[in-house]
Structure 1
Amino acid sequence: MEQRRLGDSGLWVSCLALGTMTWGRDTDQHEARDQLLAYAEAGGTLIDTAASYGDGDSERLVGALLDNSVARADVAIATKAGIAVRRGERRVDVSRKALLDQLDDSLDRMDLDYVDLWQVQAWSDDAPMDETFSALDHAVTSGRARYVGVSNYSGWQTAAAAVHQRSGAARVPLTATQVEYSLLQRGAEREALPAAGRLGLGVLAWSPLGRGVLTGKYRGGTPADSRGATSHLAPFVDPYLDDRSRHVVDAVCTAAEGLGALPLEVALAWTRDRPAVGAAVVGARTAAQLRDVLGSDDLVLPDEIRAALDEVSAVPLGYPERMP
Structure 2
Amino acid sequence: MEYTRLGETGLEVSRLCLGCMNFGSEQPWMVHDREQAHAVINRALELGINFFDTANVYSGGESEEILGEALADADRARSELVVATKVYGPMQEGPNGQGLSRKHILDQADASLERLGTDYIDLYQIHRWDDETPIEETLSALDSLVEAGKVRYIGASTMSAWKFMKALHAADIDNYERFVSMQCEYNLVDRHEEANALPLCVDQDIGVVPWSPLAGGFLTGKYQRDEEPDSGRAATDEFMQKRFTEENWAVLERVRDIADAHDATPAQVALAWLLHMDVVDAPIVGPRTIDHLEDTVGALGVDLTDGELEQLEEPITPVWNPDIGDV
With structure 2 as the length reference, what TM-score do the two structures score?
0.90
Match of 1:76 in 2: 82
Match of 1:163 in 2: 169
Deviation at 1:259, TM superposition (A): 1.6
Matched, 1:227 2:230: no
Which amino acid is 1:143 matched to? G
Match of 1:313 in 2: 316
Where do 1:100-249 residues align within 5 Å?
100-169=106-175, 171-219=176-224, 221=227, 226-229=232-235, 231=236, 234-249=237-252
Distance in 2 between residues matched to 1:65 and 1:8, nearest whole Å? 29
Which segment drifts farther, 117-126 or 292-301? 292-301
Where do 1:293-308 residues align within 5 Å?
293-308=296-311
Distance in 2 between residues matched to 1:153 and 1:5, nearest whole Å? 23
Question: By percentage of residues, which structure has more strand?
Answer: 1
Distance in 2 between residues matched to 1:31 and 1:39, nearest whole Å? 13
> Cα distance 1:172–1:184, how it changes in 2: closer, same or farther (>3 A)?
same
Which amino acid is 2:312 matched to? L
Decide whether the 8 Å contact of 2:181 with 2:209 is kept in 1. Answer: yes
SS in 2 for 1:313: coil
Match of 1:261 in 2: 264
SS in 2 for 1:150: strand
CA deviation vs aligned residue, 1:246-276 (integer Å, no higher than 9, x gap): 1111111111112211000000111122122
Which amino acid is 1:281 matched to? I
- 2:284 maps to which of 275, 281, 293: 281
Decide whether the 8 Å contact of 1:159 with 1:196 is kept in 2. Answer: no
Distance in 2 between residues matched to 1:117 and 1:85, nearest whole Å? 20
Deviation at 1:316, TM superposition (A): 4.6
Deviation at 1:288, TM superposition (A): 1.7
Deviation at 1:302, TM superposition (A): 1.3
Distance in 2 between residues matched to 1:37 and 1:217, nearest whole Å? 26
Deviation at 1:225, TM superposition (A): 5.7
> Cα distance 1:288–1:154, how it changes in 2: closer, same or farther (>3 A)?
same
Match of 2:324 in 1: none
SS in 2 for 1:79: strand
Match of 1:9 in 2: 9
Which amino acid is 1:62 matched to? L
CA deviation vs aligned residue, 1:195-237 (integer Å, no higher than 9, x gap): 11111110000111111100010116355663324x4xx2342
Deviation at 1:67, TM superposition (A): 2.7
Distance in 1 between residues matched to 2:199 and 2:305, nearest whole Å? 24
Which amino acid is 1:202 matched to? G
Distance in 1 between residues matched to 2:68 and 2:44, nearest whole Å? 16
Deviation at 1:282, TM superposition (A): 0.3
Match of 2:23 in 1: 23
CA deviation vs aligned residue, 1:69-91 (integer Å, no higher than 9, x gap): 24233310000001125459xx8
| Count of paired positions | 311
Deviation at 1:308, TM superposition (A): 0.6
Decide whether the 8 Å contact of 1:269 with 1:296 is kept in 2. Answer: yes
Decide whether the 8 Å contact of 1:79 with 1:119 is kept in 2. Answer: yes
Identical residues among aligned pairs (%): 36
Deviation at 1:32, TM superposition (A): 1.4
Distance in 1 between residues matched to 2:317 and 2:258, nearest whole Å? 17
> Cα distance 1:68–1:49, how it changes in 2: closer, same or farther (>3 A)?
same
SS in 1 for 2:18: strand
Match of 1:322 in 2: none
With structure 1 as the length reference, what TM-score do the two structures score?
0.91
Decide whether the 8 Å contact of 1:222 with 1:228 is kept in 2. Answer: no
Match of 2:254 in 1: 251
Decide whether the 8 Å contact of 1:32 with 1:287 is kept in 2. Answer: no
Distance in 2 between residues matched to 1:31 and 1:297, nearest whole Å? 24
